[in-house]
């Protein structure tokens, strides 16, 4: 006998309506992404395949392969990104560890301090570094008066200056996820390690550090990817000596009015970022499979 299925249609309709409402909430964002992201990026791809004569051509990509200057630019971009990420880890991880060990109220205050740089614009912060680091800047003057070095040294308009500025700007992006991972670690785990015979150092390396890896990985990835497309800081603090992909894109448009070449660079940057993200996501899944994820 057929079971009685009272109100089945009405209930199913309610569920469908609920889902539609949820979709409705998301639709402005979906529309926005479509208009300002998907269409322009599609156009970017299209333009990158248009040659100087206005027909389909691979010349924009061929140029990248042929000219040595492009190879150098990509090399610089990755070098700056790697170094910035590495320095951020070296500075950020111990700082996050320190903050995670503080009582909650003080820790929150410290986190606000970490985020403080976000309150001023990127450009202001970058120029502030320029003022501090220049030949007659605060850093050189003080170092000389303290006797740290005798002559003003060149710490801006080069790689050093670029890295100082970029690390400063990127640091919060690393600290926050690492701090989050550290706070998520059950305090009893460290006690257990210690109880089982691990010295504080062993307990750190065998239990604490592995459990912060997903956070450290996420933070490093974010910093690295942000670095790849960075423009203002290397442009101002690099003094023309540190040329990254984004700067080449600007010069292609502003100096040479070559939209095709600029688009091709943009596409390469976009694709390499996506490849890195894809590889990283495989790694992150691996983390989860070995139980390291949270």
Partner 1 sequence: MTSRTNEALPISVKNVTKTYGPVHALNDVSLEVQSGEFLTLLGPSGSGKTTLLMVLAGFTRPDCGSLKFGDREVIRTPPHLRDVGMTFQSYALFPHMTVAGNVGYPLKLRKVPKPEIAARVEAALDTVQLGGFGDRRIDQLSGGQRQRVAVARAIVFEPRILLMDEPLSALDKKLRDQMQIELRHLHEKLGMTTVYVTHDQREALTMSDRIAVVNHGRIMQLATPRDLYERPANRFVADFIGESTFLPVSRQGDTVLFDGTPLLHDSPPPEAASLLLMVRPERVVLSREGPREGVNNFAATATEVVYQGDSFLLHAALADGAQIVLRGAMRGANVTALPAVGDALTLCLAPEDTVLIDGSEA
Instruction: Name the site residues for partner 1 (rule: CB under 8 A).
Output: 186, 188-189, 191-200, 202-203, 206-207, 210-211, 290-292, 294
**Least distance to partner 1 from the beta carbon of 144, Å?**
47
**Least distance to partner 1 from the beta carbon of 214, Å?**
10
Q: How far is CA 134 from CA 33, 70, 111, 156, 228, in A?
A: 41, 29, 30, 6, 25
**Is 107 or 198 the residue whose CB approaches partner 1 more closely?**
198
Sequence-ordered alpha helix ranges (H) in the chain: 8-33, 39-48, 59-66, 68-100, 104-115, 122-133, 138-146, 159-183, 187-195, 200-203, 209-228, 232-237, 245-254, 259-289
Structure tokens at 293: 């994820």
Structure-token match 């309709």, residue found: 13
**Is 25 or 289 the residue whose CB approaches partner 1 more closely?**
289
**Is 206 or 285 the residue whose CB approaches partner 1 more closely?**
206
CA distance 102 to 156: 35
**Is 110 or 211 the residue whose CB approaches partner 1 more closely?**
211
**Least distance to partner 1 from the beta carbon of 287, Å?**
9
Give the Cβ contact number of residue 59 at 10 Å: 16
**Is 159 or 190 the residue whose CB approaches partner 1 more closely?**
190
The phi, psi pair for 76, rounded to 5°, reads -60, -45
**Least distance to partner 1 from the beta carbon of 202, Å?**
7
**Least distance to partner 1 from the beta carbon of 206, Å?**
8
**Least distance to partner 1 from the beta carbon of 154, Å?**
45
**Is 29 or 289 the residue whose CB approaches partner 1 more closely?**
289
């Amino acid at each position: 006998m057929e079971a009685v299925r009272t109100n089945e249609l009405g209930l199913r309709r309610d569920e469908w309506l609920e889902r539609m409402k949820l979709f409705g909430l998301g639709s402005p964002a979906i529309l926005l992404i479509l208009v300002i992201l998907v269409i322009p990026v599609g156009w970017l791809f299209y333009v990158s395949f248009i040659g100087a004569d206005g027909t389909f051509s691979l010349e924009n990509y061929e140029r990248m392969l042929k000219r040595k200057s492009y190879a150098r630019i990509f090399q610089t971009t990755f070098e700056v990104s790697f170094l910035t990420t590495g320095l951020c880890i070296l500075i950020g991880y111990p700082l996050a560890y320190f903050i995670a060990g503080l009582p909650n109220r003080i820790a929150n205050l410290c986190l606000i301090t970490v985020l403080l740089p976000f309150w001023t614009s990127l450009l202001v912060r970058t120029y502030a570094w320029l003022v501090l680091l220049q030949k007659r800047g605060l850093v050189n003057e003080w170092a000389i008066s303290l006797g740290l070095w005798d002559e003003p040294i060149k710490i801006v308009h080069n790689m050093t200056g670029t890295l100082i500025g970029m690390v400063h700007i990127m640091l919060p992006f690393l600290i926050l996820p690492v701090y989050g991972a550290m706070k998520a670690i059950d305090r009893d785990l460290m006690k257990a390690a210690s109880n089982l015979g691990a010295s504080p150092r062993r307990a750190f390396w065998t239990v604490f550090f592995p459990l912060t890896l997903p956070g450290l990985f996420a933070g490093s990835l974010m910093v690295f990817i942000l670095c790849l497309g960075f423009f203002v800081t290397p442009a101002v603090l690099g003094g023309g000596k540190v040329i990254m992909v984004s700067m080449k894109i600007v010069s292609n448009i502003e100096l040479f009015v070559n939209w095709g070449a600029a688009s091709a660079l943009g596409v390469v940057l976009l694709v390499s970022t996506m490849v890195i993200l894809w590889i990283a996501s495989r790694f992150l899944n691996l983390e989860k499979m070995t139980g390291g994820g949270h």
